[in-house]
Structures are given as C-alpha cells and as structure tokens.
Amino acid sequence: MKKKLNYKIVAIHSFYWLYELIDAYLWQDFVSFCVFYSFFIGTFYLHYYVIVPKMIKKPSFASILKWFFVFFLIFTARRYVSNRILFDVLQPIGLYDAGDYSPSFIEIWQWIILGVISNSAGILAVSLGSRYVKNNSKLKELKRQKVKNELSALKNQIDISETINILSKLEIKAKSKPDSIQEQIIQLSSVLRFHLYSKQGEIQLFKELEVVQDQLDLYNELNQSSLKLDAEINDRIIKTGILSKSIGEVLKDNQKVSSKLELNDFLENSYLKISDSNLNFLEELQQRFKNKFGNQLKIQTTNQSIIIQLN
C-alpha cells in the first residue's frame, strides 16, 4: 500500500531549512555556502535516518549525551574537510577568496560553539519532532483501526440491517397497538444479548435453541407466519452462534419464508437442514452463508436443501 505523505513532517523540515537558508544568506558567501551545506545536508540526514534512531531509541540524558559525542566527532570532521576544500583546493585556483580578514582564536571557537549548538539542536529538534509526529499519527491510525475492527466485529456478531428492519416493523406495529410489541422487544433483546455477549467457542445446544425460538417467534409474529424448527436431536455441544446466525440468514428474506427447518444428528455430528422447493431462494441463501461465514461452515447441498454442520 502506498504511504500517505505526512504534511506535518514536511512542514517541520521546510521550516528548518528555510531558517538555515536565511542564516547562510546573512553570514556566508555563495561558495562557502555550497561547500559547507553540501556536507551538512548529507550529515544531517545521516543523523536523521540512521544515527539518531539507533542511538536515541528512547530519549534520555544518557542516550542524548552518547549521541552528542558522535555528533561532535562528525561535526569536527565535516568542518575540517570543508575548510580544506575551501583553502587548499578552491582558493589556489581562484574559486574562493577568504580575503584579508583573519579571525582571532576566540572568534574561531565562538563560531565552533555556536555551530555545535545550532546544528545539534536543529538535528535533535527535527529528528525527535518528526518521530513524535509519526508516532502520534500511528497512534491515531491504530485507534481508527481499532474502532473499525470493533465495528466489524459488532457487525459480524449482529445483523445491523436486519435489526433495523425488525425495529421498523415494530415501530409500525406500535403506532396502532403500543402495548402489543412488549413481548417482541423482549425477544429481540434476548437475541441481541446472546450475539453480543456469548464469547465461548462452544455452547450447549438447548441454550442456543432458546435464542432460536425467540428468533422464530419474533419472525412469525411480525410476518404472520408459522415457521418452526423440528429438533429431533439430543442435547449436545455445538459451536456458539452457528445455529442462531444460520437461522437469522434464513429469516432475512423480505418475502414470506416457507422453508422446512430440521435439527438432526448423525454419529457425533449435529446438522441443521434447510429444505425449500424454491431453488432460487436456496441459491441466494447459500451465497448469504458464504458471505457471512466464509470457510467457517461445513455446508452440503442437495436438490432441495442445504445441510450445515453445527459442531
């Protein structure tokens, strides 16, 4: 994935180099500017990308002191090489003229001290400032991703669009008979609580059957239907949520559902069988299962039925 340009970091670097450019314009001629800054830019980004990240992983007095020692060695070497180029290479061929001015020993050391303070402060400010901005941006992105994952998990736990659809039907019913929806509200809340708070990987079948019964009762009440689940099976352990979510996918159809729903067992396995003469509905239902569960479900299909393994 292509990385987004962090404009805050660009701004930090831009402001710093603008300051350096103004400073160079006030105190240096063009030739010395080109020599000094060609080396300075290289060493600056050597510190920025390599030395500071390796030596100051977590800012502390000790780590900064160690880095400053390395910085001073590089600073001294850079100044020495730059001066040798100016005085030993460029001045003899007439490309640089130092003039008649000869600075005193104290002035030389003043320039060195000011240069060390200015360069080290600039490198640290840009490096650590950029790191702070990057870490802050990563933290915000992680928070956004966390919220996105939580919403995705919530969406996977409950069918939001279907819940809204049920609430819309309840609202219509409540307008004519406000007291008539109390039982349906309890049933809906039971189903939602189960999907939100059931965290175990497995559950006893009879506990999930209670939720499924609330689903069917709610569907039948709101759609004037008599859909039921025939359970010819002993109580056993199944994967949490597979049965109720599968039934939920069956009940999502906008038309009246007339499927036959059966629970059966064979050897150690439990199965939900969904039979329907409407082949288009079965094809659509199979696609819903694929979208909802991916490869989590073991599904078999026959001419007029879908069979789902529950454990």
Instruction: Classify domain 182-309 at the CATH topology level.
Output: Heat Shock Protein 90 (3.30.565)
pLDDT at 83: 85
Q: What is the pTM of this model?
A: 0.54
Tell me the pLDDT tens digit for each residue of 119-164: 899 999 999 999 999 999 888 888 888 877 666 665 556 665 666 6
Lowest mean per-residue pLDDT among 4-8, 252-256, 281-285? 252-256
Domain residue ranges in the chain: 7-156, 182-309
pLDDT at 1: 44
Give residue 231's Cα distance to chain centre: 43
Q: What percent of the chain has pLDDT over 70?
A: 87
d(C-alpha 32, C-alpha 119), whole Å: 17
b/e 36-61 (16+ beta carbons within 10 angstroms → b): bbebbeebbeebbeebbeebbeeeee
Mean pLDDT of 235-263: 78
